[in-house]
Amino acid sequence: MCSTCRKKARSKASHEARVQAAYGLLPGEYDRLFEHQGGRCGICGGTRRQRLSVDHCHRTHLVRGLLCRMCNGRLLTAARDRPEILRAAADYLEDPPAQRHLGPRYHQDKEGHGDPAR
């Protein structure tokens, strides 16, 4: 076995050991979940060069799926794992209160970005 293949095998074994110790996933379960999700983040659908993070509930420790670092580390952290906050955020983006109250308002930056006619 060449050094590149040996390094790759050690990295995979090390990852499986960490995932098993931290989340209780048995060897091969991360890969099966990754394949089931099509190699994509469970929220944004993005693909990454790096491995996806194992997302889990911090209260119950239930493994929920695989997420990119942005969705796992920022989106769910900011929402404090509360679905109602994420639903409220979606409602806010789909029906902004300023647009409802004031009508459409667009801010133009120095380069003219923000003009809906452009």
Q: For residues 61 and 74, what is the distance between their CA atoms, to the nearest angstrom?
A: 19
Q: Looking at the structure, give the CATH architecture of the domain made up of residues 3-101.
A: 3-Layer(aba) Sandwich (3.40)
* pLDDT tens digits, one per residue of 69-105: 999 999 999 999 899 999 999 999 999 999 989 988 8
Which residues make Cβ contacts (< 8 Å) with residue 38, sequence separation at least 6?
none
Whole-model pTM? 0.77
Q: How many CB atoms lie within 10 A of CB 73?
A: 13
Helix (H) or strand (E) holding 89: helix 83-94
- Which is nearest to 25 in space by CA: 74, 82, 81, 64? 64
Instruction: Identify whether the C-beta of residue 56 lies closer than 8 Å to the C-beta of residue 23.
Output: yes
pLDDT for the residue numbered 113: 72
Where are the chain's structural domains?
Answer: 3-101
Mean pLDDT of the chain: 90
pLDDT for the residue numbered 118: 52
